[in-house]
């Protein structure tokens, strides 16, 4: 009887060992399958997981789409231009130009006709000493050449029907509006009797200006419209040729 009981105990031990081994094997296989599945199909992002970002594949050799506001790089040592459409453009600023004497061309580097100098295009530019305006320019915006501390001379093509210069001072072609007196111009200012308006900042920080000679009468001078910030004009003494 004892022998029989001993055999049964041994058999039970062997069966338990076999069952334990099978259980361990099953658990191991389950872990391997889970790892393989996760490698193929990563778990979704969530608490305690690391989401893998999905990047859309681009078409082979596909060119990037340019942003709508991207502008063409300016040529080296060139003014900055803005296209106005219809084959015309405006000078918008000094751009990459390094020259002190600015020659505005009739045609931009891209082949557009230059018809405008934009408002404030050269405002406060300390680099320039002289500007040459071509016949093609028919509009000059407000303060385009104001407060340029080293500006000495503004010249206009004799063929320009909209503007003219008189000894470096910029006027409208009819002589009714004085647009800009060069900030560093030497000598006294001469204002024709035809002038009935002086633009804003036309005489701003003109350190060399001491006397203004107006070629009209004091009564005519009183009728001239002088825009704000013409401090140098207000502080200069005025002489009249028509007295």
State whether 87 and 33 are in the same domain: no
Is there a domain that residue 52 lies in?
A: no
What's the pLDDT score for residue 18? 53
Q: What is the mean pLDDT of the chain?
A: 79
Same-domain status, 24 and 143: no
Asked whether residue 195 falls in the same domain as residue 110, the answer is yes
**30 and 85 share a domain?**
no
- Give the number of other CB atoms < 10 A from CB of residue 55: 6
DSSP 146-200: TT-TT--EEEE-TT-SSEEEETTEEEETTS-EEEE--TT--S-EEE-TT--EE-T
Query: How far apart are alpha carbons 135 and 77 in whole angstroms?
Result: 22
Range of the domain at 168: 80-240
Total domain count for the chain?
2
Check whether residue 19 and residue 103 sit in a common domain.
no
pLDDT at residue 76, rounded to an integer: 72
**pLDDT tens readout for residues 152-181:** 999 999 999 999 999 999 999 999 999 999
Residues 26 and 116 in one domain: no
The verdict on 96 and 174 lying in the same domain is yes
98 and 209 in a single domain? The answer is yes
Judged against a pLDDT cut of 60, whether residue 24 lies above it is answered with no
- Give the pLDDT of residue 61: 36
Handedness of CA 133, 134, 135, 136 (dihedral sign): negative
Give, in degrees to the nearest 5, the angle at Cα 45 between 41 and 50.
Answer: 85
**What is the percent of the chain with per-residue pLDDT over 90, rounded to a whole number?**
66
For the cut 50, the answer to whether the pLDDT of residue 54 exceeds it is: no
CATH number at residue 101: 3.80.10.10
In a domain, 12, yes or no: yes
The answer to whether residue 57 is domain-embedded is no
> Are 2 and 94 part of one and the same domain?
no
What pLDDT, on the 0 to 100 scale, is given for residue 187? 87
Asked if residues 214 and 203 have their Cβ atoms less than 8 Å apart, the reply is: no
Whether residues 199 and 118 fall in one domain = yes
Q: Is the pLDDT of residue 87 over 50?
A: yes
Q: Is residue 66 part of a domain?
A: no
- Residue 75 — very low, low, confident or very high, per pLDDT cuts 50/70/90? low
Confirm whether 111 is domain-assigned: yes
Confidence band, pLDDT 50/70/90 cuts, at residue 28:
very low
**What pTM, to 2 d.p., does this model score?**
0.69
Does residue 97 sit in the same domain as residue 209? yes
């Amino acid at each position: 009887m004892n022998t029989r009981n001993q055999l049964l105990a041994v058999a039970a031990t062997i069966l338990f060992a076999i069952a334990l081994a099978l259980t361990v094997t099953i658990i191991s296989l389950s872990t391997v399958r889970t790892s393989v599945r996760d490698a193929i199909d990563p778990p979704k992002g969530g608490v305690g997981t690391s989401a893998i970002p999905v990047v859309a594949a681009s078409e082979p050799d596909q060119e990037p789409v340019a942003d709508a506001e991207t502008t063409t790089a300016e040529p080296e040592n060139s003014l900055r231009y803005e296209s106005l459409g219809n084959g015309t453009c405006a000078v918008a600023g000094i751009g990459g130009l390094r020259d002190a004497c600015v020659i505005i061309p009739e045609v931009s580097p891209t082949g557009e006709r230059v018809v405008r100098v934009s408002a404030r295009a050269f405002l406060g530019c300390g680099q320039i000493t002289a500007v040459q305006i071509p016949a093609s320019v028919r509009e000059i915006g407000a303060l385009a050449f104001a407060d340029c501390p080293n500006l000495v001379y503004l010249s206009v093509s004799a063929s320009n029907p909209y503007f003219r210069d008189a000894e470096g001072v910029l006027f409208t072609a009819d002589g009714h509006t004085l647009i800009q007196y060069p900030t560093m111009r030497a000598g006294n200012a001469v204002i024709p009797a035809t002038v009935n308006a002086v633009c804003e900042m036309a005489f701003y920080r003109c350190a060399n200006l001491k006397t203004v000679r107006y070629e009209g009468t004091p009564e005519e001078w009183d009728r001239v419209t002088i825009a704000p910030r013409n401090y140098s004009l207000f502080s200069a003494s005025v002489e009249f040729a028509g007295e």
